[in-house]
Chains A and B, each alone.
Chain A
């Protein structure tokens, strides 16, 4: 327990150092951030799109089976889109990002650490937080957010496509109750969760990768810690943000 608290504290301090580095970093850093964001986005888009499409399709199949029993297929579009945007979409796509972006980053930074590349950079006067971690961290946050938004859009597309061919409902029926189930709060909830998941993927991947040690086995441990830790923290964050947003919605009234 004490070790967990100590590690949590180290992660908080690490994030603080990154935010400070972003603050004091040169303007040219933002050019690099945009370049890196675009690189991560295009590298991961295919996987996210493929998975996103099937997330939407699976949800349609599940909801259709249940709603058809009660002759309530008119709710299919609204309920499905709400579930995709609020919860299932960000969660599953974030899990994919952990494997695609988080593991890659942790392994890359870990290898740089154990092969003394990070030490060499520092000896040549490059401050690691400013020149290496802050741009990478910010790029992952931005790329994760944009990939999650892209993934959610494709999930909705997948759901719509399968609803048309599988559930035999038309576009008008699919979209009929969408506005009732999906207000600004639904969209806000999806975006907030996507942002938080992006932060978690970036922070834990950078943290465990940067502090990897003891050769190849150490890099392996760092990647495992980063992926398992991020999955776990995403689930906890999903529960906490879900509870908080539900409470806020209740406070705000119907």
Chain B
């Protein structure tokens, strides 16, 4: 079970965004980089929101197609809940068959939310709860791959930790492969088993958290910041 990027290059007009990108998504992969580096473009390629210009993406060994895209679910930077629907309808939106009520309650349990919120509207919930509902909604159709677009941006450190714990919990309990696009090096070092750094349209560093902490790449060093200080103890 994996997503493989092979020679992906993308340009918007004269602006090159991705250039010959090659990588494989493992169980918990974090893609880090500066704003505007093209991280979200990689996710949008997978979801078909931006057409692939050059190269290919394979999913479970076959070229990505509208059918195989249904194996992927995407959690957006904002909760993006449908504000005209209550929480139940939001979560059940992607469910076509089966016992919807049972599934919705099961998903609420997965994301650690009380079942009593199902009748509430999105604006009745806190931002953190909305984030959890959006994860539950994405999990509803049983995706095999979960894509997160900057899930912790704009959250305080406590909420950031809760969300990253939730991502790990969901990956373990629902057996999904996660690709997380983020700026949050702390969460990446804590829960990822593979980290990629995107800069200047290319992958400039790649490896497990230990390897990344030893990287001499200036961007990686800049990102690591205070995490670099404790890298010795981490490695040792």
Q: Residues on A close to B: CB < 8 A?
A: 115-117, 119-126
Contact = CB atoms under 8 A, between A and B. Distances in A.
Contacts of B156: none
B74 A115 contact: no
A116 B138 CA distance: 14
Contacts of A119: 47, 49, 74, 76, 80
B131 interface: no
Interface of B: 47, 49, 70, 72-74, 76-78, 80-83, 93-94, 134, 137-138, 140-141
A120 B70 contact: no
14 contacts: A116-B80, A119-B47, A119-B76, A120-B74, A120-B76, A120-B80, A121-B93, A123-B138, A124-B94, A124-B137, A124-B138, A124-B140, A125-B141, A126-B93
Contacts of A116: 76-78, 80
Contact of A123 (B74, B77, B81): B74
B80 A117 contact: yes
A124 B47 CA distance: 10
Given A116-B78, A125-B70, 12 more contacts: A115-B80, A116-B77, A117-B83, A119-B80, A120-B74, A120-B76, A120-B82, A120-B134, A124-B73, A124-B93, A124-B140, A125-B94
B151 to A, nearest CB: 13
A115 B81 CA distance: 9
Nearest first, the 3 A-B pairs at minimum CB distance are: A124-B94, A116-B80, A120-B80
A122 B83 CA distance: 16
Given A116-B76, A126-B93, A121 B49 contact: no
Contacts of A121: 82, 93
Nearest to B134: A120
A117 B70 CA distance: 18
A119 B82 CA distance: 11
A120 B82 CA distance: 9
Contacts of B94: 124-125
Contacts of B141: 124-125
Contacts of B49: 119, 122
A115 B127 CA distance: 14
A123 B93 contact: no
B76, B80, B134, B140 pick with most chain A CB within 10 angstroms: B80
Contacts of B81: 117
B59 to A, nearest CB: 15
